[in-house]
Chains A and B, each alone.
Chain A
């Protein structure tokens, strides 16, 4: 799985960081998402899929192998 993040779309709601804290964080000054691990291991797949699904701006796309 590869995580693609469309930064200009991000509204910094932080839902990704809440659902998958090992894979996403938020930039300190404005809360814009940061991808900590763009190729997460299978143990994170469920939470990463949930993070992509709950992103209100649809800024997270997953390329599943």
Chain B
């Protein structure tokens, strides 16, 4: 059997859906294989129930330094041996220790406390947008600046540095970057964050880098760990939230009944919270698969995954698995969607998910209420998608009101 090349390309006629080839594997071939950039053929797991079982199975490892690990990109494969021990490349119990050292700023009550400030940031941006030219690009006006402002405030970095952040994070996560470009971007941001860490150790503030600085001084964390972690927060919290705000808006404009429903229920926090879960499920922007390697032989649906084999989990496929979400191709803001895998599943589930939820609840709960006449300024077919990254998004979203 010939394996499909992965990541696959979504059909332009149906850009929110996982590709037909991936959906076919969910139906017919739950323990299949795909071919990735280096020619290797890791296992490919697409069903929601299988992902839930395996992503919590201690026989799977996230140790990216092991031979046979199915790396996302050539650049990631080249840099993996040089990474310090991080939450993104260690298994429990080391992972548990590391995660607990960086978790405090992302606790539910800490991010809930940010809600009024996030609301203020968004309201100011909407004021500026309404005062500016019409039509405009929602990605530039709202999508990108919201997470940029939020994450730079949380880290304690000055906003005037946001262009450096946006550019570097894009280069680091793009499939189009060469290892040299990625390494250069990594060095630039590393140097910046190293300097920021020194400033925050000297003059601590109420922010994450100051908190990590205190842990470095106390000997609970090394400098490289703190810098790499700050970098990861910056990148992970940035383009992802931006994409969700812009893509969510486009998906709602494509589903006017759902948009109307959301607008009518904007003052009901429970409704908005569930709408966020459903949009996370429906869009599942992390679309190039999360990666593991088997520590032991694992039997699944009468197939044996051998110790040392690589495994890829396609999160979008699981979130479009009709067995778990009936009529999964339908955006339904009322459906129970909380069990989605948009943030992954298992001990490595997204560290910043609570912050992302608050950002999206504020964004979706405010944007369409304040701009009830929001509409696309170009035909849907002309909206430019950015498909090449680890997460997909929009290059721009021309809107009018």
- Bound CA–CA A56/B57 (angstroms): 11
Instruction: Let me know if B104 is at the binding interface, CB within 8 A.
Output: yes
**Whole-angstrom distance between the alpha carbons of A58 and B349 in the complex?**
12
Q: Tell whether, in the assembled complex, residue A56 and residue B345 are in contact, meaning their CB atoms are under 8 Å apart.
A: yes
The closest CB in chain A to the CB of B55 belongs to A56
Q: How far is the CA of A17 from the CA of B357 in the complex (A)?
A: 14
Interface Cβ pair total, 8 Å cutoff: 63
With a cutoff of 8 Å between Cβ atoms, the chain A residues found around residue B101 in the complex are 30
Interchain CA distance A54-B346 in the complex, whole Å:
10
Q: Which residues of B contact A9 (CB under 8 A)?
A: 92, 96, 347
- Docked Cα-Cα span, A15 to B353, in Å, equals 9
CA distance A18 to B354 in the complex (A): 8
A13 to chain B, nearest CB (A): 6
Q: Which of B109, B338, B345, B353 contacts A26 (CB 8 A)?
A: B109
Q: Kindly provide the distance from the CB of B356 to the nearest chain A CB, expressed in whole angstroms.
A: 12
Q: Is residue B79 contacting chain A, with contact meaning CB distance below 8 A?
A: no
A interface footprint on B78-116 (CB within 8 Å = 1, 0 otherwise): 000000000000001101100111011011110000000
User: Given A11-B99, A12-B100, A13-B349, are A53 and B339 also a contact pair (CB < 8 Å)?
Assistant: yes
What is the chain A residue whose CB lies nearest that of B354?
A14
Total residues of chain B contacting the partner, CB 8 A: 25
Is B187 an interface residue when CB atoms closer than 8 A count as contact?
no
Chain A interface bracket (under 10, 10 to 19, 20 to 34, 35 or more): 20 to 34
A14 engages B107 (CB within 8 Å): yes
- Can you name the residue of chain B whose Cβ is closest to the Cβ of A32? B100
Contacts of A43 in B (CB 8 A): none
- CB nearest to B336 among chain A residues: A50
Which residues of the other chain, B, contact A11 by a CB distance below 8 angstroms? 95-96, 99-100, 103, 347, 349
Q: Which of A9, A13, A15 has the most CB of B within 10 A?
A: A13
Tell me the chain B residues, 104-161 only, with Cβ under 8 Å from chain A: 104, 106-109
CB distance from B395 to the nearest CB of A (A): 32
Give residues 1-57 of A contacting B (CB, 8 Å): 8-15, 17-19, 26, 28-32, 50, 53-54, 56-57
Residues of A whose CB lies within 8 Å of any CB of B are 8-15, 17-19, 26, 28-32, 50, 53-54, 56-58
Chain B residues with a Cβ under 8 A of chain A: 56, 92-93, 95-96, 99-101, 103-104, 106-109, 338-339, 344-347, 349, 351, 353-354, 357
Q: Which 8 A-B pairs have CB atoms at the shortest separation, nearest pair first?
A: A56-B349, A30-B100, A14-B108, A31-B103, A31-B107, A12-B103, A11-B347, A17-B108
With A50-B338, A56-B346, A56-B347 given, can you name 20 additional A-B contacts, CB distance below 8 Å? A8-B93, A9-B92, A9-B96, A9-B347, A11-B99, A11-B100, A12-B99, A12-B107, A14-B108, A19-B338, A26-B107, A28-B107, A31-B106, A31-B107, A53-B339, A54-B338, A56-B56, A57-B56, A57-B346, A57-B347
Q: Can you list 25 residue pairs at the A/B interface with Cβ under 8 Å?
A: A8-B96, A9-B92, A9-B96, A11-B96, A11-B99, A11-B103, A12-B99, A14-B106, A15-B353, A17-B108, A17-B109, A26-B107, A28-B104, A30-B101, A30-B103, A31-B103, A31-B104, A31-B106, A53-B338, A53-B339, A54-B338, A56-B56, A56-B344, A56-B349, A58-B56
